[in-house]
Amino acid sequence: WGLEDRKNELKALTKSCGIDVLSEIVCRIKEFTPKFLIGKGKVEEIADLVYRTEADVVIFGSDLSPSQHQNLEESLEAKIVDRTQLILNIFATRALSNEAKAQVELAQLEYLLPRLSRMWLHLSRQHGGAGMKGPGEQQLEVDRRRVRSRIIKLKKELKEITQQRKLRRSQRKKGLIFTVSLVGYTNSGKSTLFNSLTDENIKAKDQLFSTLDPTIRKIKLSNNKTILLSDTVGFLHNLPHHLIESFKATLEEVVEADLLLHVVDMSDNRMEELVCDVFNVLDELGVKDKPIFTVLNKMDLIDGELERLRIARKFEMPLVVSALKKTGLSELMDRISGFLNQDTEEIELTIPHTHMNLVRQIEAKGTMIDEKYTENGVYIKAYVPKMLKFSIFKELQKNRPKSS
């Protein structure tokens, strides 16, 4: 990532947080300083800029230690926000469900806990004495205990949510429903694609992190097979590790999916770098070896077929679509159908009338070749998933009358 790219993304994050950018400054330093992160001369330069622009907030593109945060606030006389705090603020405004709110609060409190150490220091200095604690230090200990107990409670809540998700997923797996999950860099158009494929109206805006809550819907493919499609939180360059940890419950939809659709904004000049960032997060989740289809989105923003082909050649068998214009979506659905058919086998059998539930499963999850109702049962010839074939024969064998 070049300097200009990092600067532009920080500006985009700032605007997504609802903060107006009055001015910007680049700090080129050989090594970080323990006191301010940047040099003293740069601190004075920023202080002058804050005074002239009457800025309320100074945002740093790097993460600050608790002491650096405190020292900068005292020197610049303005609220200091680092990159992680900025991302957390955006997450807090986007969180809608109780789960998302709990995940954001957990990440915020874990960020805040080490930064409590200096927040009450001015009270301690005023009232503390030799051999005694000042009221500020007493308040600090109270706050620490409250934060720690709240963190424990939130982790317990999220653990329960994770267990509920596992239960729902196990029920889906019993029903042998194929699951597909959308992944990609934030603002690549995942939610727009989700809406176009499912005829839903999930919030989709031209902004970073418009989706935090995982959304799951059923889709029927052209071969009458039903799949589950999930939309999840977008990824970001150098995403703080504890944010990934906090959102593990949400990202488990990605971990448990049978197929991933990697949505890429083909109009973004940093496209190849963004793809690397997505795979870094997938690697951290332990899922980069799953089957992945690359979906090059926003083809409507690319001028000319030759330019689209040039970009597409950088990827292996990509699908070029416009989620907004609903172009190329039938090819995407056909590719998913073809992938499902790779894991199917042909069956030919007669199912007794007492087992019509098996017939309905084949109709819902398989591809019918022939179906006839006879006196002995329902004759079926079809392609079905291997797991379904196994469960059908197991069910019929279990209920077959024993020979005398």
What pLDDT is recorded for position 323?
Answer: 93
What pLDDT is recorded for position 210?
Answer: 54
pLDDT digits (tens, 9 = 90+) for 25-52: 888 888 888 899 998 899 999 999 999 9
Per residue of the chain (404 residues), give pLDDT as tens.
Answer: 678 888 888 888 888 888 899 998 888 888 888 899 998 899 999 999 999 999 999 999 888 888 898 899 999 999 999 988 888 888 787 777 777 788 888 888 888 888 775 444 443 444 343 343 445 457 777 888 888 999 999 989 888 887 877 777 666 655 567 789 999 998 899 989 999 998 866 555 555 555 556 678 888 887 677 888 988 777 877 776 666 666 665 677 788 888 899 999 999 988 998 999 899 888 888 887 888 999 999 999 999 899 999 999 999 999 999 999 999 999 999 999 888 777 678 899 999 988 888 888 887 777 788 999 998 899 999 888 777 788 788 888 876 665 44
What pLDDT is recorded for position 394?
Answer: 82
Taking the mean position of all CA atoms in its chain, how far away is CA 217?
16
What pLDDT is recorded for position 397?
Answer: 82
Q: Are 10 and 236 in contact (CB under 8 A)?
A: no
Q: Token pair for residue 61?
A: 């593109």
Q: Within 224-352, where are the H helices?
A: 241-246, 248-256, 271-285, 305-312, 329-341
| CA separation for the pair 133, 96 (Å, rounded) | 42
pTM of the model: 0.70
What pLDDT is recorded for position 340?
Answer: 79
| CA separation for the pair 383, 307 (Å, rounded) | 40
Q: Within 113-134, where are the H helices?
A: 121-127
| CA separation for the pair 297, 284 (Å, rounded) | 24
What pLDDT is recorded for position 112?
Answer: 84
Residue of 235, 286, 293, 261 lying closest to 180 (CA atoms): 261
